[in-house]
């Protein structure tokens, strides 16, 4: 095979593997953002965290939130809820960046799958 084509195909294979692995990491990050409370499931996002912080700033200690399945959930201790959501977010985001950075330093297919 022409050396130029061979090099390009090596890079092509690397890109496919890298792209697939990044897709999986992103989806796993979404899974890691799930927070379960009082029979409800919440996907933690900056909007939800900010909203809870706003309610706390307004002096509210409890509230009702609509979960991922459209079920209203009574949150009895908003402070704990908000704090735990921040923990879930931090843990998920830190795991994501750690795994992502490992990928960045690998420039071969073998390197990616051995991460």
Partner 1 sequence: MNQGVVLIARNNTEIDYIKQAIFLAKRVRKYLDLPTSLVTDNVDYLYNTYKNSVDVFDKIIQVDNDKKYSYKKYYDGIFAKKQLEFKNSNRSSVYDLSPYDETLLLDTDFVVSNDILNECFVQQKDLLLYKDAFDLSGWRDKNEFTFISEIGPTFYWATCIFFRKTELNKTFFDLVSHIQEYYPHYRNLYKLNTNVFRNDHAFSIAIHIMNGYTNNNFAGTMPGTMYYCTDKDVLIDLKDDNFLFLIQKRNESNEYTPLRIKGSNVHVINKYSLNRIIDNG
Applying CB under 8 A, the residues found at the interface with partner 1 are: 13, 16-17, 19-21, 23-24, 27-28, 30-31, 34, 36, 39-41, 68-71, 109, 112-115
Of residues 56 and 67, the one with the C-beta less far from partner 1: 67
The least distance separating partner 1 from the CB of residue 58, rounded to whole angstroms, comes to 28
**Dihedral over alpha carbons 85, 87, 91, 97 (to 10 degrees):** 80
- What end-to-end distance do the CA atoms of the chain give, in Å? 30
Of residues 86 and 112, the one with the C-beta less far from partner 1: 112
The least distance separating partner 1 from the CB of residue 28, rounded to whole angstroms, comes to 6
How far is Cα of residue 93 from the mean position of the Cα atoms in its chain?
Answer: 6
The least distance separating partner 1 from the CB of residue 109, rounded to whole angstroms, comes to 6
Of residues 12 and 90, the one with the C-beta less far from partner 1: 12
Separation CA 33–CA 53 (nearest Å) = 18
**Please, what is the angle between helix 3-32 and helix 78-104, to 10°?**
170
């Amino acid at each position: 095979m022409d050396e130029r084509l061979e090099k390009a195909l090596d890079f092509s294979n690397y890109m496919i593997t890298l792209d697939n692995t990044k897709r999986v990491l992103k989806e796993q990050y979404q899974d890691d953002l799930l927070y379960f409370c009082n029979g409800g499931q919440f996907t933690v996002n900056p909007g939800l965290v900010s909203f809870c912080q706003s309610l706390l700033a307004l002096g509210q200690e409890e509230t009702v939130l609509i979960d991922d399945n459209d079920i209203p959930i009574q949150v009895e201790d908003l402070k704990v809820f908000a704090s735990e959501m921040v923990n879930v977010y931090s843990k998920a985001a830190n795991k994501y960046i750690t795994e992502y950075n490992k990928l960045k330093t690998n420039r071969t297919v073998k390197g990616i799958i051995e991460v």
